A and B are shown apart, each in its own frame.
Chain A
Amino acid sequence: MNSEDLIASLSQDLRPVSRHALGERLGQGVIAGGLITLVAVVFWLGIRPDLMPAMLGATFWLKWTYTISLAICASAAAMRLARPDGTAGGWLRLMALPVLGLALIAGIELAMTPSTQWLDMWLGNSWTICSRNVFLLALPIFAGLLWSYRRLAPTRLALAGTSAGMAAGAWGATLYCLHCPETSALFVLTWYSLGMAGAALLGRLLGPYLLRW
């Protein structure tokens, strides 16, 4: 096709684009994936029976603060990297803050607990499945973000993939909190983070292949 004809056909029936189209597109991907993850939490893992009383306590909110702040940072990076001239803009580095904060709390927790109980605190009752669950719950959200990116224009594919994977991991972990009854900061710091890092690594590896356009 000659370029003049191409231009004519592209300009026909041009639809207006909202200023927020990019954010909306990413939001739709996260929410669609998040709904599938939520269904999996409810019907596959089951909501923790003591969710209501747990939500009145500090531990639940500590976990959510951790996973949600990571999710916001990674999502912001993923959003910036969806533009061809975009950079992560420090959002990925900012993730060090919640990690260090939780590490500090885990340190205090350890100092206040006799060392004979440290191992139990670290491993909890579910360390063998926690990371795996977080990783699996991230997958639908990661798929949602990949769908979002199909209309967007990332050019740093590995970094965009990492951010999307990390965002999916952190949102997945946020929903996993509805199931997981573990209470120690050290547990969350280790096993949740490991699951999220796995999702980020998956994004890092797949990004260069799946995000091409």
Chain B
Amino acid sequence: MRDDDNRLRALMLAGLAGDGGAHASLLRALLPPLRSFFRRRLGGRDDDVEDLVQETLIAVHTRRATYDPGRPFGAWVYAIARYKLIDRYRRSGRTTALDDLPELADEFAFDDASDARSDVDRLLETIPEKQAAVLRATRIEGLSTAEAAERLGIGESDVKVSAHRGLKALAARVKDSLR
């Protein structure tokens, strides 16, 4: 993944210097990972996928001044793609608070790790929102009960109960899907 990131970063830097060819190669190289990123999360609505891919490419282009050459390129693209995805969710009425999402991956994140992560995301969407939020905070981000309680604005005992119920609900879902 490192090599990939360095290759894309080199294209990005050339594009920032005004090299249109490098810029086109960069955008073209982003097509496959962006498509699979959105496809995984949108569950097969192909028009929407291509829509979001294009929106992301346009943002990568028009907002290229926000890339910090000192940082990994993948994390930057991933942050844009993720933002576009969340924006789409919000527009279609699904509520996802931006600031509450898990921290960014600092590697080029269109890889197997994000595959596993999207499975977890999909599962968490099937249980009540509070339980999912508690599990994200305590099990994925590794916050303590007290920290999670403070972050979510609920009591500590509520966190414990929600985590317990959430895990139980998840276990039931997984068992169901294996049947």
Name A residues whose Cβ lies closer than 8 Å to a Cβ of B.
1, 3-4, 6-8, 10-19, 21-22, 25, 82-85, 151-153, 155-159, 208, 212-213
Contact = CB atoms under 8 A, between A and B. Distances in A.
A81 to B, nearest CB: 10
B80 interface: yes
B10 interface: no
B32 to A, nearest CB: 11
B99 A159 contact: yes
Q: Which 5 A-B pairs have the closest CB atoms?
A: A16-B18, A84-B79, A11-B24, A21-B65, A85-B79
B38 interface: no
B80 A153 contact: yes
Interface in B50-67: 50, 53-54, 57-59, 61-67
A179 B74 CA distance: 49
A72 B63 CA distance: 24
Given A10-B61, A22-B65, A156 B24 contact: no
B65 A17 contact: yes
B17 interface: yes
A6 B57 contact: yes
Nearest to A23: B65
A22 B58 contact: no
Contact of A25 (B18, B59, B65, B68): B65
Interface of B: 15-21, 23-24, 27-28, 31, 50, 53-54, 57-59, 61-69, 71, 75-76, 78-80, 82-83, 87, 98-99, 104, 106
Contact of A16 (B16, B50, B76): B16
B54 A158 contact: no
Given A85-B78, A155-B79, 4 more contacts: A8-B24, A10-B27, A85-B75, A213-B59
Contacts of B28: 4, 7
Nearest to A208: B98
B96 to A, nearest CB: 12
B27 A7 contact: yes
Contacts of A84: 63, 66, 76, 79-80, 83
Contacts of A10: 23-24, 27, 57-58, 61
A17 B16 contact: yes
B23 A85 contact: no
Given A11-B23, A12-B20, A158-B99, A153 B15 contact: no
Contacts of B16: 16-17, 19
Contacts of B61: 10
Contact of A3 (B15, B23, B53): B53
B83 A15 contact: no
